[in-house]
């Protein structure tokens, strides 16, 4: 090898060595900076902070006034009440097939399936209790969940009674 080739290799090795040192330095700097970044704030802590600093009151004026909001809410409730689910049928099988099968055939949410082992203790409480739980909703001691009116607020009490009666009459 000639002298200028050796000189090039020395300088090239020094440049590569310097670049390796800079790379290692940047890696250590990044690791150090990473330890200095505060941890993410938990969502519950952020919610508590938001509740603490929320304004104590609010001003309603014009079309966003409290009276307008109350009227809109009343109109929405009246609209929901005026709509009768499933054409107003009181055939429990129709309602069960369209709404209740999702949970009561598979046991989702610890819903009792249509067999005596799940229903005998519930029937012993009386039909009025079953009607109440079906209409108002219920969370059982085992964690089972029954949403009010099976999750369909357009169902009437008569429809709920018919569905409960149909389910009790069709236990296996």
163 near 96, Cβ under 8 Å?
A: yes
Parse the chain into domains and list their residue ranges: 1-34, 86-169
Q: How far is CA 85 from CA 48, 98, 113, in A?
A: 40, 10, 23
What's the pTM value of the predicted model, to 2 decimals?
Answer: 0.51
Architecture of domain 86-169: Orthogonal Bundle (1.10)
DSSP state of 115: S
Please give the chain's pLDDT, 172 residues, in tens.
678 888 899 999 999 999 999 999 999 999 999 888 777 778 888 889 888 888 877 666 665 666 777 777 777 777 666 667 766 777 888 888 888 888 888 888 888 888 888 888 888 888 888 888 888 888 888 878 888 888 888 888 888 888 888 888 887 7
What phi, psi does 138 have (nearest 5°)? -160, 140
């Amino acid at each position: 090898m000639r002298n200028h080739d050796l000189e090039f290799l020395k300088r090239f090795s020094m440049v590569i060595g310097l670049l390796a040192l800079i790379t290692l330095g940047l890696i250590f700097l990044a690791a150090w900076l990473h330890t200095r970044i505060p941890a993410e704030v938990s969502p519950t802590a952020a919610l508590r902070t938001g509740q603490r600093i929320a304004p104590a009151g609010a001003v309603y004026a014009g079309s966003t006034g409290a009276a307008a909001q109350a009227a809109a809410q009343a109109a929405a409730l009246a609209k929901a009440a005026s709509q009768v689910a499933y054409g107003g049928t009181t055939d429990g099988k129709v309602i069960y097939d369209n709404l209740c099968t999702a949970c009561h055939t598979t046991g989702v949410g610890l819903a009792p399936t249509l067999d005596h082992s799940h229903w005998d203790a519930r029937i012993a409480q009386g039909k009025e209790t079953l009607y109440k739980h079906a209409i108002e909703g219920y969370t059982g001691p085992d964690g089972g969940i029954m949403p009010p009116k099976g999750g369909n607020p357009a169902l009437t009490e008569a429809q709920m009674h018919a569905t409960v009666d149909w389910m009790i009459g069709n236990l296996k």
